[in-house]
Structure 1
Amino acid sequence: MTDATAGLAPAPDLLRIATAGSVDDGKSTLVGRLLYDTKSVLADQIDAVTKASVDRGLDTPDLSLLVDGLRAEREQGITIDVAYRYFATPARSFVLADTPGHVQYTRNTVSGASTAQLVILLVDARNGVVAQTRRHAAVMALLGVPQLVLAVNKIDLVDDAESVFASIKADFAELTRTLGWSDEQVTSIPVSALHGDNIASRSENTPYYSGPTLIEHLETVPNVTDRHEVGLRFPVQYVIRPRTAEYPDYRGYAGQIAAGRVSVGDEVVVLPSGTHTTITQIDTADGQLSTAHTGRSVTLLLADDVDISRGDLISAVTDAPEPIQQFTATVCWLADKPLRPGARLLLKHGTRTTQAIVGALDTLFDEQNLTLSDAPDVLELNQIGRISVQTAEPIPADDYQVNRESGSFLLIDPQGGNTLAAGLVGDALASLHLKELV
């Protein structure tokens, strides 16, 4: 096999982003504007949107129609489901999760933002920081999103825009500091998604603002996967044994690198068994690599014949997580039927699925008032709380505050297979500095 990196130009940097905000703050228009200004929309799509806009009596194309794809969304003028959009500039590629603004779709916002490295949180300049802004900021803090952009939209519709922008920026900064973000992690930009002000080009209508445009910021913001760097985390997805004449003894372990990096010659530990071995080869569909990083799908070959199966974790030795069976977790409940203590569910962590029992419901988080209350009887749809969990098998999980990929899990209905909750290993609520607010 040949070196997969030979003769290849470096791939554009990829940034995962998401949008959030209240209903009618202009998220769909902003996403449509990003697609339009980065020339990521086909000409026939623009023609269709222009025709639909004229039929509605509009003078300019309604760019929100580029992204509100569901019939119910078009009829109601709202975003319901999470939709993933792809666009690129010469400097960077982007995957964007366009999430709903309605409070009843908070669970969809959690889903869309769970892998985001940056979230664009929209605020209508006429309304400022509202209840849903606080709710979404709290959810982003819980999820450990490394970077935030406050996009103060519809800035063209307010008088004395400079003072309005300054006031909203100050209110938001007070909120984000309480939730644990530093000022360096939050950027505020006045925009008009409808007219394109400060999206791709700097607007003459905001002389008081000297910062980057939204696209400039997205191109240059540090690509932070997590707030903390950890060693290799490689959930084994599949064991490859071709048993051919060419490869009679080939045994490879396929999956995607969830965190860290791996190089030929690295010592690793297989969890939960605790067996130590060494990486001898890294294969990809394009050939062999000497080193692979987070997000790369690879097949690892090991120096020793180790008993490894789907669900095991190949980890760096220096900071390997301790396999656990009883732990505290923070969950966002996603199902209509409430969660009660004693529920017997399936827990999916990485590529491992095991039986689990929910113990006590310790704390309920009020994401609107940023307060905690003790021992709820149940967790209802969209509620966030701290619970205890016991699993039938040990899982090699990090605390979510250490690493989002290896510290997250799903709770699944064992009968129907539906996802019931998104979970974070450890006490993520403690990171929000809420003690003085209880």
Structure 2
Amino acid sequence: MSQLKQMSHIDSAPPTPGKFKMDKASYFNRVRWHTSLAKLAVWSFVFLGAILIFFLRSPASSPVPADLSRRSLRTYSWGGPVWEKRVRASAQVRSRNGFAVLVTGAAGFVGTHVSAALKRRGDGVLGLDNFNDYYDPSLKRARQGLLERNGVYIVEGDINDEALLRKLFEVVPFTHVMHLAAQAGVRYAMENPGSYVHSNIAGFVNLLEVCKSVNPQPAIVWASSSSVYGLNTKVPFSERDRTDQPASLYAATKKAGEEIAHTYNHIYGLSLTGLRFFTVYGPWGRPDMAYFFFTRDLLKGKPIPIFEAANHGTVARDFTYIDDIVRGCLGALDTAEKSTGSGGKKRGPAQLRVFNLGNTSPVPVSDLVSILERLLKVKAKRNIMKLPRNGDVQFTHANISYAQSELGYKPTTDLQSGLKKFVRWYLNYYSGGKKAVE
């Protein structure tokens, strides 16, 4: 401290000769000493900062390791002759005029069903999934096993991994991409907003960057969401409606995806088709969806939360069975035109579309619970609650006339029939319900 005071006295010393005498050698020695001390302090702070960042980013030291795993790239093992052989075999087209399709999010709910349907009709299919732990990864692994038994290989990797994506296109000249990888869920966005930006925006941009530069460019069909309609009150929701009132961050990232798609279509000639899914349900579904955890909680004897809007308003959803969604996805692929770019340069106007894929018949959530009660032969303990301000909206209702005319889309499964199939799968998957109530 005394040395710092001495330095301050030197700084304030009057310049007039004779009023202050100082040993020049001592002065410069002190300056050099303090300079070295300052450098040492700076580098010490840098080193300590680097250590702090390392431990903060380490999953082992994070209070919520799942968050980091969904926001940053992991190290995956890929490459080599054996790996390339599996990739080519999975993507091999076996039908005349079939497609070679890269399905992102292939171990997800919709991704599994779409991949299986494509494979059954003779298309070449390669999956890509990062198997994050937003919900139980063992369910995703079970879906992976199901697909592999049907000849679909899922590469374990992240859509933000540019090197991996470029390698996949180097090994297989995909004609189409079915982009279903995304961070899903409306409510979880309040806990981990970064994961939505990482997957739904950054990941989508990375995929489009790779697709625009390969030759030939693939046609792309991707999953948007009915959530983009946000706070709209006019029903049924139409593709012509404004979508600038998102009620959640999830909805905002899906809306951003639609604008990003427009940009890449306009600049690079990528053929892009967005599909706005309306509350998809069915076997192999997502455990974070109401119908799924209602079933689990009914079997456990737990109360079922049923939300109501202001003034006791009914909360309803346009529940859409997975088989109907799959038919819409395949219809979008079948009618997708070729991209018009080459090597990142646009050669002419390219196709750009957005479709609603719903069921056109919204059902109150309370009716959903009643159907599950009958199927499970269990009486629900209903807990009526106000709709929280967490991004959920009061209702969804799809106008599907555009998809009907362009894709031949026509949903055929009502909620009663669809839930019956789901419950049969659920009880079988969870060993007659025993695993569900453990």
Fold match by TM threshold 0.5: no
Structure with more strand by fraction: 1
Structure of greater Rg: 2
Structure with more helix by fraction: 2
TM-score, structure 1 as length reference: 0.30
TM-score, structure 2 as length reference: 0.30
